[in-house]
Amino acid sequence: MKIAISSKENNELSMVSDRFARSEYFIIYDHDTLSFTAVENTAKKAGSGAGGKAVKILGDLNVDIVLVPELGPKALEALQAFEIESYQYPKEKTVKEVLYLYFEKKLPKLEVSTSTGRH
């Protein structure tokens, strides 16, 4: 199982990002091998539609679960298409801390629903 966490820097001790779609990096935690990999989020450079692109990057890496601060309407829709679950973390924590919170089942699941109107 792979879990992606949006992150400010490229390691698991870094602080988590304030934004999902334009975060600097994603830290991918692989639960089968117990390892961490950092991936630069190229979606942050997008003029628009960053949410959809960020999800694609994770989808192509076969991520199963994503831990996020918030989700815009495009990201929500894209996560549904890729069948990736999302959970919301509190800010001002490290990547490792929110991962523990996830395993302790303390993170609320974000219901993936079709948004009523994009901006």
Partner 1 sequence: MKIAILSGKGGTGKTTLSVNLFSFLNKGTLIDTDVEEPNGHLFLKGELIKEESVLKKYPHVNDDLCTYCGKCGDFCNFNAIIPAKKKVLVFQDLYHDCGGCSLVCPTNAITYQDKEVGKIYYTQVSKNKLFLYGNLTVGEVSGVKIIEALKEKTENEELLIIDSPPGTSCSTVSAIDGADYCIICAEATPFGLSDMKMVVELLRAENQNFGVVVNKSNLGNDEIYHYLEEEHIELLEKIKFDREFARIMAQGELLINHSEYFKEKMANIARKVLGESYDQ
Partner 2 sequence: MINEIVIISGKGGTGKTSITASIIPFFENLVLADCDVDAPDLNILIKGEIVEERDFIGFQRPVIDYDKCTYCGKCYHSCNFNAIREDIVINTSACEGCKVCEYVCPVNAITMHDAVIGKIYHRKTIFGPMIDARLNPGEESSGKLVAEVRKLARDVAYKENRDTIIIDGSPGIACNVISAITGVSKAIIVTEPTISGLHDLKKVVHLVKMFSVEAKVIINKYDLSLEKAEEIKNYLSLMEIEVVLELPFDLAVVNSISNLQIPSTTDIAFFSTKEWFDFIEYLRN
If binding means CB under 8 A, how many residues of this protein chain bind partner 1? 20
Query: Does residue 91 belong to the site contacting partner 2 (CB under 8 A)?
Result: yes
- Residue 44 binding: pick among partner 2, partner 1, none (C-beta 5-8 Å cut-off by kind): partner 2
> What is the smallest separation between the CB atom of 56 and partner 1, expressed in angstroms?
5
Query: Does residue 73 belong to the site contacting partner 2 (CB under 8 A)?
Result: yes
Query: Does residue 88 belong to the site contacting partner 2 (CB under 8 A)?
Result: no
CA-closest candidate to residue 86, choices 96, 97, 75, 101: 75
Report yes or no: 66 and 58 within 8 Å, Cβ to Cβ: yes
Q: Which residues contact 74 (CB under 8 A, 6 or more apart)?
A: 21, 49, 50, 51, 52, 118
> What is the smallest separation between the CB atom of 24 and partner 1, expressed in angstroms?
18
Q: Which tokens is 118 given? A: 């994009």
